[in-house]
Amino acid sequence: MTDPILKISNLTKRFGGNTAVSGINLEVQPRETIAIIGPNGAGKTTFYNMVSGRMNPTEGKIELEGQDITGLPPHKISRMGVSRSFQINNIFPEMTVQENVEVAVTAFHGHSRKLFNFASRNRAVQDEARELLGKLQILELADRRAEVISYGDKRLLEIAVVLATRPHLVLLDEPTAGMTPDETKRTTSLIRQLADTGDYTFLITEHDMDVVFGLADRILVMHRGENLFVGTPDEVKAHPEVRRAYLGEEEEEEASA
Ligand SMILES: Nc1ncnc2c1ncn2[C@@H]1O[C@H](COP(=O)(O)OP(=O)(O)O)[C@@H](O)[C@H]1O
Ligand SMILES: [Mg+2]
């Protein structure tokens, strides 16, 4: 076993009396794709918020490539190679598709690279943005305004934006939510292609079990903030408690303050 890219120890988040994430332990190996499943309110987004620095954990530790990143602000964690998407679209509607990616690439270059002059810098940003659009197979939409492209293409654009900071660890929050079955299939196969390049480690929260089983090397099953089970897709399919808790009845949302 190699050193984990991400090591989570006893990660816990409480909101008042409500424990959203409770004592999660997880080691993620480089280039693994981990799916995080669990009913609404299980704590998946809160888990992401802590790993990406948007929320401080109440307890526990987050290590990225051996470095303690617990409680660091989002921009620092981003510069260390962690990038995340949001459940809700996070793109600028009046800008073109390509400009949306250029904004993200520029933000990254500003920190990490000095190019001699404006023109060559601009050129490099454009090339990189177009390369990312190509990876997501939306290059032909480069000059459209983002607001006019389909919902599925917007979500792919969002992934291009997420990849613009050249992350090693990519957190996707329900990448196929709201997509048509065809868009879901296309997105699943694109994420699989990105995973197969070996350039990325993915954490993916997802409700669609076909997507989960099609992408995940391992699955973390969360239930009421807790780690119910971690295992391969086959182990998850065979696990009676997991079937009951997640593949079975819908959980009732608990009214909490
Ligand atoms: N900012 C917040 N303030 C208070 N409670 C929150 C906040 N964010 C999430 N929660 C609560 O934490 C629990 C887990 O929510 P969340 O992480 O969004 O779950 P999931 O993404 O799995 O649906 C829920 O009970 C939710 O109401
Ligand atoms: Mg969520």
Q: Quick one: pLDDT at residue 2?
A: 75
Query: Would you state the pLDDT for residue 256?
Result: 44
| Residue 154 C-beta-side C-alpha neighbours within 13 Å | 21
Contact by Cβ (8 Å): 221, 246: yes
d(CA 31, CA 249): 33
Mean pLDDT, contiguous 10-residue spans, the chain (257 residues): 91 97 97 95 96 97 97 94 85 95 84 62 91 97 97 95 95 94 95 96 94 95 92 91 65 43
CA distance 158 to 233: 27
CA of 46 to the centre of ligand 2 (A): 7
Residues 242/236, Cβ–Cβ less than 8 Å: yes
Atom 3 (ligand 1) nearest CA: 15
Is the pTM value of this prediction over 0.95?
no
Kindly give the number of the ligand 1 atom that is closest to the alpha carbon of 87.
21
* Domains of the chain with CATH codes: 1-81+167-257 (3.40.50.300), 90-165 (no CATH)
44 CA from centroid of ligand 2 (Å): 5
Half-sphere exposure of 146 (CA within 13 A, CB side): 22
Q: How many other CB atoms are there within 10 angstroms of residue 137's CB atom?
A: 14
Interval between CA 40 and ligand 1 midpoint (Å): 9
What amino acid occupies position 100?
A: N
Ligand 1 atom nearest to CA at 173: 21
